[in-house]
Structure 1
């Protein structure tokens, strides 16, 4: 049994989700409002320690044709720094449609645009992690 963390890494915010101990379901944990790389990584390390996280799944934003753009490169660079600090296994998950799915979920739930901004990253992290869990549990 191991807990897995899902991250949706953006320029302004990082959505954080955690799996249950059985690795079946993803729950949203929090949204980290980014200040600088050092404090962003420190916050993630605290979460890893508090929840005994053993693996990290990170959404990789690809272009619709599958190529990697400037945002992907930022995420890869962030992931390298995170790996060096935590020594945990990290896995990239194609997140092309996760933000779209998260947005649709919030619109269907009639969440106001202002409130959507505060939860969209966390919800995207849930979609990333749940996609990964569903694939690995088959």
Structure 2
């Protein structure tokens, strides 16, 4: 596999999908946006626009594991989403345990001054995407350049 420099991270959900971008050279991830989804199906034109704009070397999709580490009912859907990203855009994918990222994202939002309105109107999915992507980057550091 080619060197991975830029990644997009996805916090998959049935109503919303959070998106983040991360760079291996800086070891940092940041929030990009939250895409609307209908029963887990995003607007693929929006996804394609992100892929074309950022040209990621790979994508990371969060796996919503149960607290005991077993796959949740949503894991199969998240994995299917990852495979579709690979099939549509020929981009390698990785999965990342996303347990408690939404909980942590809500806590982060509260620490920044609180939640305005409902989570549906003002979602935390992009924050959760950043958190899961940051975890993946930290667990898979880039090899030193030679």
Q: Does 1:92 align with 2:99?
A: no
- Determine whether 1:12 maps to 2:15: yes
Are the aligned partners of 1:23 and 1:133 in contact in 2 as well (CA < 8 Å)?
no
Match of 1:63 among 66, 74, 77: 66
Length-normalised TM-score, structure 1: 0.88
Alignment size in residue pairs? 138
- Normalized per residue, the structure richer in helix is 1
Structure 2 unaligned regions, length at least 5:
none
Matched, 1:46 2:49: yes
| Distance (Å, rounded) in 1 between the aligned partners of 2:13 and 2:132 | 13
Corresponding position of 1:120? 124
Task: Label 1:26 to 1:115 Cα distance change in 2 as closer, same or farther (>3 A).
Answer: farther
CA distance in 2, matches of 1:7, 1:116: 18
Comparing 1-10 with 106-115, which one deviates more in the overlay?
Answer: 106-115
Q: CA deviation at 1:99?
A: 1.0
**Aligned Cα root-mean-square deviation (Å):** 2.1
Larger displacement relative to structure 2 (32-41 or 102-111) = 32-41
Query: How big is the shift at 1:3?
Result: 1.2
Are 2:86 and 2:93, in contact at CA under 8 Å, matched by a contact in 1?
Answer: yes
Report the secondary structure of 1:18's partner residue: strand
Structure 1 residues 83-92 or 32-41, which shifts more?
A: 32-41
Change (3 A) 1:3 1:134: same
Greater CA deviation, 120-129 or 64-73?
64-73
Provide the TM-score with structure 2 as the length reference: 0.84
